Homo-oligomer: A and B are copies of this chain.
Amino acid sequence: MLKTRLDLARIQAARQAIDPLFLDSPLYPCVGLGTELGCAMSLKLETVNPVHSFKARGTEIIASRLSASGLSAVVCASAGNLGQALAWSGRGRGIDVTVVASRSAPAVKLERIRALGADLVLVDGDYDVACERAAAISRERGVPRVEDSVDLGTCDGAATIGVELAAAAGRFDAVLVALGTGALASGVGYAVKSLAPGTEVICVQPQGAPAMTRSWHARSVLTTESVDTIADGVAGRVPNPDALADLLVVADDAVLVEEASIKRGMRLLLDHAGLVVEPSAALGVAAVLEDRDRFAGRSVATVVCGGNVDMEAYLGWVGVGPVPLVTGAAVSG
């Protein structure tokens, strides 16, 4: 029995609150990617649902709970994906959703939050500044606030991914999961370690946003002054102590990767899986790239956690383009 805020029975029950279209996401081996990386690599694809990230698993639980309590408004800070997901889940239940995000979040994320009918409040500054503003709005308006990794619904939602990974035929030697606030990593980690304790759970964060990883190694909360990474979905400075405590129980390791590896990971996912993903979704591949020996010959799964990316930026990162003026297949002789 792992001592965390999470609970397997509660997670299984919470699954019932999630629209099935967000559950049982594709999980498949990508042999070409594995060959490139020197291990057997499977992808858990959280990007083919209507919000293109795993976040709706959590917001479905939360919005369902709000709805049952007769609440009709909610606010959250978001790097972009939580806001989209909460907007989706709120819309279907008549809940007014306010999302606070950084003005510098990817345009596609901000556009989709608006398109889903949420009230979008933009702040100058990063994700943690947005968190402060969301807290203020919550107090001023007296509406509940959804906080990633603090609100247990966000962790329980993520944990349903871990349940699915643990139920997969064959056993994974390791599961690689993006680390930001810790909701995804602690949720997936808790479920995997509870149901398949032999599987290693490894969290991956960018060198440019290392607060939670450093905290995990120090076993106490460490913050950073700033963040500098293309992986906008995991770019936090201020870890939550409860999320860290859970992560200390369920994660076997937390590693940092360089920006170049994230970009290379995105490119490999394009070349071998035909997938366009956001930087955070390539962290697992980046971790293998930086430590091939550790994963050599092993069976590894990674959660492709989000696909919301500005294409212009994406193409620059993966090194495709520029687009020629005349379209048509190139000629090889």
Contacts and interface: CB of A to CB of B under 8 A. Distances in A.
Interface of A: 21, 25-26, 28-32, 35, 43, 45, 47-50, 52, 103-107, 110-111, 122, 230, 232, 270, 272-277, 307, 310-313, 315-317, 320-324, 327-333
- Copy count, this protein chain: 2
Contacts of A111: 332
A35 B272 CA distance: 28
A332 B101 CA distance: 11
Contacts of A107: 329-332
A277 B274 CA distance: 7
Contacts of A307: 274
29 contacts: A25-B28, A28-B48, A30-B48, A31-B48, A31-B49, A35-B50, A103-B333, A104-B329, A105-B332, A107-B329, A111-B332, A230-B329, A270-B276, A275-B276, A276-B276, A311-B321, A312-B320, A312-B321, A312-B323, A312-B330, A313-B328, A315-B321, A315-B323, A316-B323, A316-B324, A316-B327, A317-B327, A321-B323, A322-B322
Given A275-B274, A322-B321, A323-B312, A105 B329 contact: yes
B274 A48 contact: yes
A21 B31 contact: yes
A313 B333 contact: no
B324 A312 contact: yes
A103 B330 CA distance: 10
A191 to B, nearest CB: 21
A298 B311 CA distance: 32
A282 to B, nearest CB: 12
A30 B26 CA distance: 10
B274 A47 contact: yes
Contacts of A122: 332-333
Nearest to A326: B316
Contacts of A270: 276
Contacts of A333: 103, 122
A52 B312 CA distance: 25
Contacts of A276: 270, 274-276
Nearest to A111: B332
A49 B52 CA distance: 23
A332 B103 contact: yes
A152 B84 CA distance: 49
Contact of A315 (B104, B317, B320): B320
A13 to B, nearest CB: 24
Contacts of A274: 47-48, 52, 275-277, 307
Contacts of A103: 331-333
The 9 closest A-B pairs by CB, nearest first: A316-B327, A321-B323, A274-B307, A107-B330, A107-B332, A26-B28, A32-B50, A110-B332, A106-B329
Nearest to A317: B327
